Amino acid sequence: MSYTVVWSAVAEQKLAAIWNTANDRVAVAAAANGIDLALSRKPRLCGESRGGVLRVIFAGPLGLEYEIIEDDRQVRVLTVWQVRQSI
């Protein structure tokens, strides 16, 4: 059974800002789409618990904080940030 992934207004705005300033917009879009797909299928197997209902997931240049609302079969993306890769 699938989940509906809902991005908060804050998360959508931050993702847009990341995409607008990204050197590799394709990577940002691919990461966001991949996370969306993974969270819609098995959100408990994605990412890591951060205590309580909060979870985080990292993919490519993005990190997200999200929560799962089981009763509604919904995943709510709360915020997103750009992951800086170190060398």
**Residues 23-32: pLDDT tens digits?**
999 999 999 9
Burial status of residue 20 (CB atoms within 10 A of its CB: 0-12, 13-18, 19 or more): exposed
- Where residue 61 falls among pLDDT bands split at 50, 70, 90? very high
Q: Is residue 87 part of a domain?
A: no
How many structural domains is the chain composed of?
1
Q: Is residue 78 part of a domain?
A: yes
Q: Is residue 65 part of a domain?
A: yes
pLDDT of residue 24: 94
Residue 85 predicted with pLDDT over 80 = no
Secondary element (H or E) of residue 4: strand 4-7
| Cβ within 8 Å of residue 80, ≥6 positions away | 11, 14, 15, 18, 32, 62, 63, 64, 65
Pairing of strands 54-59, 4-7: unpaired
Q: What is the CATH number of the domain that holds 70?
A: 3.30.2310.20
What is the model's pTM?
0.90
Residue range(s) defining the domain that contains residue 9: 4-82
Q: Is residue 63 part of a domain?
A: yes
Residue 87 predicted with pLDDT over 90 = no
